[in-house]
Structure 1
Amino acid sequence: MRAKVGDALVLEGQHVGDGQRIGTIIEIGHADGTPPYRVRWPDGHETYVSPGPDARIRPATGPDPR
């Protein structure tokens, strides 16, 4: 997984009925774009995330790659 600052991190829900969590990547852990990522969530909270298999990157520009 590789990302750039400004991309969205999309986390799929773990259980039936769970929604997606979508945050904005504000810092990249490594120069090659690999995790961990510092993410700002819509409520303003910021966390460091090492995404698992339920996550995907949505580029800052262009369509959602679903």
Structure 2
Amino acid sequence: MRAAIGDRIRVHSRTVGQAERAGEIIEVRGPEGTAPFLVRFTDGHEGLVYPGPDTIIDSADHD
């Protein structure tokens, strides 16, 4: 899975009743756009994400 700074990330919950987590990728630490990604989530916290099959990357328009 590849991403760029500014892309949006959505992580679906594996637990019934838990909300999806969403945020913006603020840093790409892997080579050539690969994981891990530093993400600023909508609740304000930041965390390192190693995306799994329950993750979707929404690409931002990059010039």
Q: Which band: TM-score by shorter chain?
A: 0.7 to 0.9
Unmatched tracts of structure 1, length 5 or more: 62-66
Q: Which residue of 1 aligns with 2:26?
A: 26
Map Cα deviations across residues 22-49 of structure 1 (whole Å, 9 max, x no partner).
1100000124110000000112211111
> Structure 1-normalised TM-score?
0.83
Identical aligned residues as a percent: 46
After TM superposition, the structure 1 = structure 2 runs for residues 7-26 of structure 1, keeping only pairs within 5 Å, are: 7-26=7-26
Greater percentage in helix: 2
Moved over 4 A (4+): none
Unmatched tracts of structure 2, length 5 or more: none
> What is the RMSD computed on CA atoms of the aligned residues?
1.1
After TM superposition, the structure 1 = structure 2 runs for residues 16-55 of structure 1, keeping only pairs within 5 Å, are: 16-55=16-55
Number of residue pairs the alignment of both structures matches: 61
Structure 2 counterpart of 1:41, one-letter code: F
Q: Return the alpha-carbon distance in structure 2 between the equivalents of residues 54 and 17 of structure 1.
A: 15
